């Protein structure tokens, strides 16, 4: 039902962006699947499934695959190698994002509030506060050099894996040692609409601050810049396509 409603809203809102080109439906040759560059980097592509703030798979994500500009994926491979030497690895949540998906987020932000979504993803905000401060009509993800990710132990303990809860919980809930998905405790879960998600947020534990610092330092060493409002959000510098917004769908690898 949500997917149908989103589709109707996309049409009624008439949302559009400058794309390359607007009719392009195939991945350009300078993009690549991260799995083809470094299959050791773990992927939990949230928008290809229902485990995200919209509660449903997002239009444009037809496969749970991380797609990036090839040189960005190569830089991420270097980050993975650096962390592996310390006993850690990367866990990626989102990479290239079609402009169709961005428009779907805007449409979702205009739907009536949902109490369960609020309790999980924005417990301290009203839904009306999310647009345009948290959800914008354009996203740097659509340029192919931005991604969302975290760090996990190379061998996640069974206790950490068992920590994943079947029922939703607030994204700001305490994380004891690990996040529910087994990644390192960062103070909030991915896509948490809250000031606690700011990279230098106050009120974090020493462990959470150290984990965030490790992620930022590892990414900076290979040319990625953190977005200070979201600890998980990084962009490779300089961006190859700083003014281009792509809209090809993410499809299964061949």
Place of tokens 């009120």: 203
Residue 228: φ, ψ to 5°: -65, -15
Quickly state the pLDDT bin for 19 (edges 50, 70, 90). Answer: low
Q: Which tokens in the block code for residue 20?
A: 């390359």
Tell me if 176 is assigned to some domain.
Answer: no
Quickly state the pLDDT bin for 168 (edges 50, 70, 90). Answer: confident
Our CA angle for 210, 71, 42, nearest 5°, is 50
Cα separation of 241 and 184, whole Å? 32
Look at residues 180, 176, 196 and name the one whose alpha carbon lies nearest to residue 188: 196
Quickly state the pLDDT bin for 160 (edges 50, 70, 90). Answer: very low
Tell me if 34 is assigned to some domain.
Answer: yes
Tell me if 208 is assigned to some domain.
Answer: no
Q: What is the pLDDT of residues 99-111, one digit of tens each?
A: 999 999 999 999 9
pLDDT at 141: 97
Tell me if 225 is assigned to some domain.
Answer: no
Cβ 68 vs Cβ 145: under 8 Å = yes
Q: Which domain holds residue 104?
A: 2-171
CA 63 to chain centre: 15
The mean pLDDT of the chain is 88
Q: What is the pLDDT of residues 122-152, one digit of tens each?
A: 999 999 899 888 999 999 999 999 999 999 9
Active-site option among 65, 152, 208, 230: 230
Cα separation of 117 and 124, whole Å? 12
Look at residues 185, 195, 92 and name the one whose alpha carbon lies nearest to residue 146: 92
Range in 17-26, 75-84, 157-166, 195-204 with the lowest mean pLDDT = 157-166
Q: What is the pLDDT of residues 191-223, one digit of tens each?
A: 999 999 999 999 999 999 999 999 999 999 999
pLDDT at 15: 39
pLDDT at 44: 97
Residue % of the chain over a pLDDT of 70:
86
Quickly state the pLDDT bin for 18 (edges 50, 70, 90). Answer: low
**CATH number of the domain bearing residue 126:** 3.30.1380.10
User: 229 - beta bridge partners?
Assistant: none
More confident site: 22 or 227:
227
Tell me if 202 is assigned to some domain.
Answer: no
Q: Which tokens in the block code for residue 197?
A: 């998600």
Quickly state the pLDDT bin for 22 (edges 50, 70, 90). Answer: very low
Tell me if 244 is assigned to some domain.
Answer: no
Q: In the chain, how many domains are there?
A: 1
Kindly tell me if the per-residue pLDDT of 162 is higher than 60: no
Quickly state the pLDDT bin for 156 (edges 50, 70, 90). Answer: low
**Residue 230 a catalytic site member:** yes
Tell me if 223 is assigned to some domain.
Answer: no
pLDDT at 24: 66
Tell me if 252 is assigned to some domain.
Answer: no
Quickly state the pLDDT bin for 20 (edges 50, 70, 90). Answer: low
């Amino acid at each position: 039902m949500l997917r149908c409603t989103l589709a109707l809203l996309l049409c009624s809102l008439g949302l559009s962006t400058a794309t390359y080109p607007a009719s392009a439906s195939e991945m350009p040759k300078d993009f690549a699947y991260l799995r083809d560059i470094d299959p050791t980097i773990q992927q939990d592509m949230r928008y290809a499934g229902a485990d995200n703030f919209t509660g449903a798979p997002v239009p444009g994500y037809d496969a749970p695959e991380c797609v990036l500009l090839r040189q960005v994926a190569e830089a991420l491979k270097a980050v993975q190698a650096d962390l592996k030497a310390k006993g850690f690895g990367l866990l990626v949540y989102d990479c290239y994002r079609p402009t169709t998906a961005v428009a779907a987020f805007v449409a979702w932000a205009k739907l009536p509030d949902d109490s369960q979504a609020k309790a999980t993803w924005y417990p301290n905000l009203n839904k009306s506060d999310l647009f345009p401060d948290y959800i914008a009509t354009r996203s740097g993800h659509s340029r192919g050099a931005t991604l969302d990710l975290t760090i996990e132990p190379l061998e996640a303990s069974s206790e950490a894996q068992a920590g994943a809860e079947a029922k939703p919980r607030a994204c700001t809930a305490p994380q004891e040692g690990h996040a529910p998905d087994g990644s390192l405790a960062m103070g909030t879960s991915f896509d948490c609409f809250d000031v606690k998600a700011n990279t230098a947020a106050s009120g974090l534990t020493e462990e959470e601050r150290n984990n965030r610092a490790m992620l930022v330092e590892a990414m900076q060493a290979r040319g990625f810049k953190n977005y200070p409002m979201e600890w998980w959000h990084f962009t490779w510098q300089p961006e190859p396509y700083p003014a281009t917004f792509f809209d090809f769908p993410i499809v299964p690898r061949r």
